[in-house]
Amino acid sequence: MADGEGSVKVVITAEEQRALDSGAYHLISSEAAEDLADRGGVTILDVRSPQEYGDGHLRDSLNMRYDSFDQLPPELEGLDRDAPVLAYCRTGNRARKTCAQLINNGFTNVYNMDKGILDWAGVTVAW
């Protein structure tokens, strides 16, 4: 849902909040996210719009809008549910909702980059 200024409002349900409180959710800084990505073995999800993604995204990230997670996308079905998954968006709000949805689908090691790509100082890739 968008407000009058084009921002996206994300409402976290009680079920999603329980998922975030489960211990599987980790809110990390952009610096810690960069370290996690550099170590490898992490699936990186950019949950912004395709246009935002095209303007610049983290290398090796998959673009999947957060509102497409009502059911787990087929691209994520085969992933190891215990392997790390890093989600990010513009400011962290859409990624937080995505993290809850991932946890509710059995993922146990889910990271949200606090403050989103706006706080990212590392390299981005643009199309």
Residue 89 designated active-site = yes
Let me know: does 68 contact 50? Beta carbons within 8 Å: no
Catalytic residue, candidates 36, 44, 47, 89:
89
Q: Is 80 strand, coil or helix?
A: coil
The set of residues, in sequence order, having a beta carbon less than 8 Å from that of 69 and lying 6+ positions away, is 97, 98, 101, 102
Let me know: does 79 contact 86? Beta carbons within 8 Å: no
Residues that are catalytic: 89
